[in-house]
Structures are given as C-alpha cells and as structure tokens.
C-alpha cells in the first residue's frame, strides 16, 4: 500500500543507514510509522565505495522499516553529503532587452541557468544555485526583485558543487535495491529542516551536524542559506584515536567513547579508572578517564576549529553577517558529554544541541527524538513537502483548460528547483545506463 500522504527518508551515512517512514497527522506534525536501521557498510566519509555492500545495507534498513509499519516502500527521498561537496560564492548578471516590462520569474530563471553554465573541474557538477541578494540597475540589497523595473539584473549566488559520479552511485544503489528515487536533498539542509526554527534562520545560525565520517556545516542568515561546508572528520576518527591511544579494539573504543567519553578533560578526576577485559585470556587493561578525555578533547578541538574557520570564512565577524542565534549541534557526535561547553569556549558563540522533536508528534518514540535521527526526520519532511507541492489538478474538472495551463506553468516554474532537476538528471542517466 503506497499511501498518498506517506513519505520515506533514506539517510545513507558512514556509520548507519536509516530508512524512516512518516506521515502527517491532523495537527500538521510528523508521525513516524516505521524506522529501520542498519550498519552502513560500503560508505566511507559519506561517499559510496562499495556498491554491493551499500545495497545490502539499504535493503536491510528498508525491510526493517517495512516490517514495523506494514507499508511497502516505493519512492524514497535521499540525502547527499560527503567530502566531495564544496561551495563557492559567485556573482552574475543579465541585461534585459525590454526594460519597459517588470522583472518576472523568467528573468530570475535565466540568471540562475546562466550560473549553472559555470565551468567546473572535471567530474564536478553544480548541485545547488541559491540566490542570496539581488541588485537592480546598481541598487543593492534587494531581497525580491520580481515586479520591479530595471535593465540590469545582478545577483550574488551561493553555489554548491559535488562530484556527479558519487551522486549517480547513490542513485544506482537505490535503483538496484528496488526503490524509486523520489528526490535528492543536501544533508545539511535536511538536518536544518528538522532542528532549526524559522526565528533562528532569520537571526543567523550555524548548524553543525557531526556524523560518523563527516561533519556538515550549514550557515543561515535572514532566512536564507549562506554557506555550506563538509569537513571530512567525524565521530569515527575519535573512536580511531581512542583505539590507537589505548591499544584496544574498535568495539571497545566505541563503547568507551559513548559511556565514559567527555570532551572536557578537567571534568574527570585522576583516580577514575575503567577496566577493559583483555583479549583471549590476557590481563584486563586499566584506562584512566582523564587520559580518555584528553584523547577525545584533542580531536574534537581540531574538528571544531575547522568548522569555526568555515564560519569565519562566511564572514561571521562582520557586523552585518553576525550569527545572533549562535550554533546548533546535531547528529550522533553531538551527544558527547561537555561538547556544548567546549564549542562555546572555542567559538564564544551561544550553543545548543538540536533535537528533531519540534516537528514530531507528541507520542513519538524517545529514540527518534535523538539528534542521531535529525537528518532522517528532515528527509521525511522534505518528501512530504514535495508531495504537497505537486499541483492538485487531477480532480479539478471545473477549471478551464486555459487556466489549467497557466496553473501548471506557474507551479512548474516555482517547484522545479535545482534538486528536482538534479533528481531528474540522475533518473535519466540511470535509465540510459541500463
């Protein structure tokens, strides 16, 4: 049963793959019907490096979600991230031939399409083109130029670039797993949808999503996304450091991090010791919690400093670009003890941990309201939004054909964003590749 108002989010991460099925309840909140989770094999730093393993992991997560919900999954909204994603600032302009007419959607589309033609490095493709602010005949800081008179239309753009082969590989995995590709979204944007409020986006906020293989950053100001970056470090590298520093196996290092890990060494006393069973009859190992938090602290500081550098690159120190709402941490890595305090200490910005419970129904499972699932919740919300966007024209017989055309045209101009185009391109490519 593929219900009309059901959407499915598929979060393909470095450590886990989550399939989440959700629908909107009568209060406009998201109700999760089923969640499936599997260990992510075949994904490294957010990029697929083993197709077969990734397909198996996707199928496992999907079948678990189907079993719980009794819903057959057809189309999914998938998130893309990974170290190949980078962003740049670009300004461009068009000269309008008819200055007597007001600026309309078509002019803006023409300008955006012009940016899409930018020459990229081999193998790279533009994923997102986000207009920041416009200039009309030299008049600056215009948010919405539609309806104005002018000859020269200029704009600053935030351009997100990614490797097209990596995106196609994800498309291939989904197709082979027997699923349809409903839409593609940037993961930082999906997480932002789940944990940020509109007020925060207006005031200026930096969202830091600490995953297993990567840390994603999205900066919002005046309700518009201003900067995105992907840092190729995440929770796994902290586990790796613990494993090396304490000479223990990965499983133990992960457990140590979750149970006793802290990002602030000063919190642990010297005499706090944890004992770890030795391998195959060897003596148990004793590790002081102080040493453990020193190892974690060193790596976390490195990650935060890199993120803070990106926030500075955006221009946070300028008065106009100041992020008043500070920082929101989400993702599995945000659950590390005393991380919030350390981020505040390094950056000097207000910090909170973002939980995706604002959009969730009241009786949701406590597991789902964890920062771990922020991206998955955001992808489901995105999928639902996409469903509602589709113009409801099927049963509208009383509308004349002429009006129908008009409605269809205007809605296609509005809704055919960059990601829809990208989704279509990936679908086309996969069909032709068969």
Q: What is the pLDDT of residue 45?
A: 81
Q: Quick one: pLDDT at residue 318?
A: 87
Architecture of domain 235-298: 2-Layer Sandwich (3.30)
Give the CA distances from residue 273 to residues 37, 174, 241, 337, in Å, rounded to whole numbers and listed in that order: 33, 46, 19, 17
d(CA 106, CA 92): 16
Instruction: Show me where the domains of the chain are located.
Output: 1-84+163-196+358-434, 235-298
Both tokens of residue 253? 């290092």
Say how far apart CA 297 and CA 253 lie, in whole Å.
15
pLDDT of residue 44: 86
Nearest to 40 by CA among 10, 85, 73: 10
Per-residue pLDDT at 68: 92
Mode of pairing for the β-strands spanning 43-44 and 47-48: antiparallel
| CA distance from start to end of the chain | 27
Class of domain 1-84+163-196+358-434: alpha beta
d(CA 52, CA 223): 40
Q: What distance in Å separates the CA atoms of residue 65 and residue 21, rounded to the nearest whole number?
A: 7
Same fold, 1-84+163-196+358-434 and 235-298: yes
Q: Which of 65, 2, 20 is nearest to 375 (CA)?
A: 20
pLDDT in tens, the chain (434 residues): 445 688 999 999 889 999 999 998 888 888 899 999 999 988 888 888 899 999 999 999 999 999 999 989 889 999 887 778 888 889 999 999 888 889 988 899 899 989 988 888 888 888 778 888 899 998 888 888 999 999 999 999 988 888 888 888 998 999 999 999 888 888 888 999 999 999 999 999 999 999 988 899 999 998 888 888 888 899 999 999 999 999 899 999 999 999 999 999 887 777 889 998 888 888 888 999 999 999 999 999 999 999 999 999 888 888 888 999 999 999 999 999 999 999 999 999 999 999 988 888 877 777 888 899 999 999 999 999 887 766 444 444 444 444 444 434 433 333 356 677 777 777 777 777 76
Which run of H or of E encompasses 134?
Answer: strand 124-136
Q: Which of 292, 311, 301 has its CA nearest to residue 252?
A: 292
pTM, two decimal places: 0.85
Report angle CA 337, 300, 365 to the nearest 5 degrees.
Answer: 40
Q: What pLDDT sits at residue 409?
A: 40
């Amino acid at each position: 049963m593929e219900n009309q108002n059901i959407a499915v989010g598929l979060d393909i991460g470095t450590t886990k793959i989550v399939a989440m099925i959700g629908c909107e309840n009568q209060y406009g909140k998201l109700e999760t019907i089923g969640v499936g989770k599997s260990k992510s094999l075949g994904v490294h730093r957010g990029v697929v490096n083993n197709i077969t393993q990734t397909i198996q992991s996707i199928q496992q997560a999907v079948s678990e979600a189907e079993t719980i919900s009794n819903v057959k999954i057809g189309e999914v909204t998938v998130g893309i991230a990974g170290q190949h994603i980078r962003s740049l600032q670009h300004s461009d302009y068009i000269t309008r031939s008819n200055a007597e007419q007001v600026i309309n959607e078509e002019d803006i589309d023409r300008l955006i399409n012009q940016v899409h033609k930018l020459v990229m490095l081999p193998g790279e493709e533009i994923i997102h083109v986000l207009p920041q602010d416009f200039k009309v005949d030299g008049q600056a800081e215009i948010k919405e130029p539609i309806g104005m008179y002018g000859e020269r239309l200029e704009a600053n753009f935030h351009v997100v670039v990614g490797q097209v082969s990596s995106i196609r590989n994800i498309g291939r995995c989904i197709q082979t797993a027997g699923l349809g590709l409903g839409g593609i979204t940037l993961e930082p944007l999906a997480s932002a949808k789940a944990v940020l409020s509109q007020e925060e986006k207006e005031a200026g906020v930096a969202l830091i999503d600490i995953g297993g293989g990567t840390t994603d950053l999205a900066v919002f100001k005046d309700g518009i996304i201003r900067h995105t970056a992907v840092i190729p470090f995440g929770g796994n590298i902290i586990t790796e450091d613990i494993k090396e520093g304490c000479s223990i196996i990965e499983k133990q290092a992960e457990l140590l991090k979750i149970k006793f890990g802290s990002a602030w060494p000063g919190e642990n006393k010297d005499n706090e010791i944890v004992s770890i069973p030795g391998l195959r009859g060897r003596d148990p190992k004793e590790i002081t919690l102080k040493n453990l938090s020193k190892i974690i602290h060193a790596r976390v500081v490195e990650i935060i400093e890199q993120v803070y550098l990106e926030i500075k690159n955006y221009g946070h120190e300028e008065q106009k670009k100041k992020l008043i709402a500070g920082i929101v941490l989400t993702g599995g890595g945000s659950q590390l003890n005393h991380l919030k305090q350390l981020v505040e200490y390094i950056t000097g910005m207000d910090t909170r941990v973002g939980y995706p419970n604002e959009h969730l129904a009241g009786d949701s499972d406590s597991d789902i309201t964890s920062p771990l699932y922020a991206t998955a919740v955001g992808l489901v919300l995105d999928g639902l939004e996409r469903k509602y966007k589709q113009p409801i024209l099927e049963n509208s017989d009383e509308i004349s054909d002429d009006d129908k055309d008009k409605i269809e045209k205007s809605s296609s101009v509005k809704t055919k964003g960059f990601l829809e185009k990208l989704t279509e391109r990936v679908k086309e490519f996969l069909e032709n590749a068969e």
